[in-house]
Every structure is written in C-alpha cells, then in structure tokens.
Amino acid sequence: MSQTGNRASDQLLVDRVKAGDKHAFDLLVLKYQHRIIKLIMRYVKDPSEAMDVSQEAFLKAYRAIPKFRGESAFYTWMYRIAINTAKNHLVAARRRPLDHAAEISEPEEFEWHAGLQESDSPEGKAMGEELRETVERTIVELPDELRTAIVLREIDGLSYEQIAQVMECPVGTVRSRIFRAREALDRNIRPIMDAG
C-alpha cells in the first residue's frame, strides 16, 4: 500500500475510533505495535519494560486521539508519543537516557557499513567487533536530539520529513542533527578504519 493509501486507511480507523469504535484502535495497535516496540527498545533495553512502555504509549494515544487532527500521519504521531513515553520512563527510573540504546545488531543498516563487514580472519573479526562497539558507544554518548535523529533515520528508516514531524522541528534542523551525528560517528570510527 502506498504512503498516501496507508495514511488514508489510518485516518479512516482514527475517525472510527473518534466515533466510539474501540475495535478500530485495536487494528491500529496491531498494525504498528511491532514498530513501536522496536522503537522503544532503542530506549528501554529490558523487553518486558519495553512492552509496558509501548502499552502505556498506546494508551496515551488512545486517550489523546480526540485531539489528533491528521496534520501528520498516524504512525508519525504515534512515534512521537512513543519516544516521549520512553524518555519519561527513563527519567522516572532515574536512568541516564538511552544508556543502552541503539544496540546495533544489524550494522548493515548504517551508511558506514562497509567498514563494519567482518572478514573471516581473527583480525577482521576483532576489527568488526571494535567498530560495532565504537558505533554503539558513540550513539549512546550523543546528545539526545542527535541520537534520536540518527536512530530514526538509520535504524528505523524514516524520511527527513517524518523525523521532523516526530521531533517537532524543521527538516533543516533534522538534516543538521543527522549530519552532526554522522560526523561524530565518522570521527570515532576513522582511527579504527585507518589502523585496519
């Protein structure tokens, strides 16, 4: 289904929810729960906690749906709620936000993947592991707005426009944040690449 068709079908479900059809919201949850849980797990490592946070996010969305005006796609609005709920959960738990986010189990999703591919040699495997750890650590240490932008772009695959909606900022700001995050990653992985 095209983005436009997808957005239209979501809007029909939203309209049904607003009219009192609870089953329509269940359909939205079924459609997006895996993406939302995956997103929240970038913030909350423990799977059971992530499930709780995602349920809380959907509950917040259900309560707020009368205010949803359809200016953005439903899933973009839902992403924003999920991110805010995850951040609030971490603050409430008195944890450093994203202290374990962005576990990069699929580094090929990153633009810098060429250097992360392991060779079969012990040296190649060690270098690949060092690169993965460096990327992971760099993402964790990024300021919150840079980390959120790069994760939404490189891991979740959102467009700049979608990220701008999620983060409630101009597209130019998103581009700047992603550029700065990539610069930090490049700065930290280049010495490893040059040494290899």
DSSP letter at 55?
Answer: H
Instruction: Kindly report the CATH number assigned to the domain that includes residue 180.
Output: 1.10.10.10
Q: How many distinct structural domains can be found in the chain? A: 2
Same domain, residue pair 59 and 112: no
Tokens of 168: 């409630």
- Is the entire prediction scored with pTM above 0.85? no
Distances (CA, A) of 104 to 44, 101, 151, 193: 14, 9, 10, 18
Tell me, what's the pLDDT at 1?
A: 61
Neighbours of 9 (CB within 10 A): 15
Tell me, what's the pLDDT at 75?
A: 87
Same domain, residue pair 84 and 124: no
DSSP letter at 112?
Answer: T
Q: Would you say residue 168 lies in a domain? A: yes
Which residues in the chain land under pLDDT 50? 95-119
Which residue reads 């700049």 in tokens? 160
Same domain, residue pair 35 and 74: yes
Q: Which domain holds residue 8?
A: 3-92
Asked which of 59, 92, 125 is the last residue of a domain, the reply is 92
- Residues 74 and 84: beta-carbon distance below 8 Å: no
Backbone angles phi, psi at 157, to 5 degrees: 75, 25
Q: Which among 163, 177, 157, 155 has a CA at the least distance from the CA of 41?
A: 155
Q: Would you say residue 102 lies in a domain? A: no
- Residues 85 and 56: beta-carbon distance below 8 Å: yes
Q: Would you say residue 161 lies in a domain? A: yes
Tell me, what's the pLDDT at 157?
A: 80
In whole angstroms, give the CA distance from residue 109 to residue 155.
Answer: 6
Same domain, residue pair 148 and 119: yes
Same domain, residue pair 74 and 111: no
As a dihedral over the C-alpha atoms of residue 9, residue 12, residue 17, residue 18, rounded to 10 degrees, the angle is 140
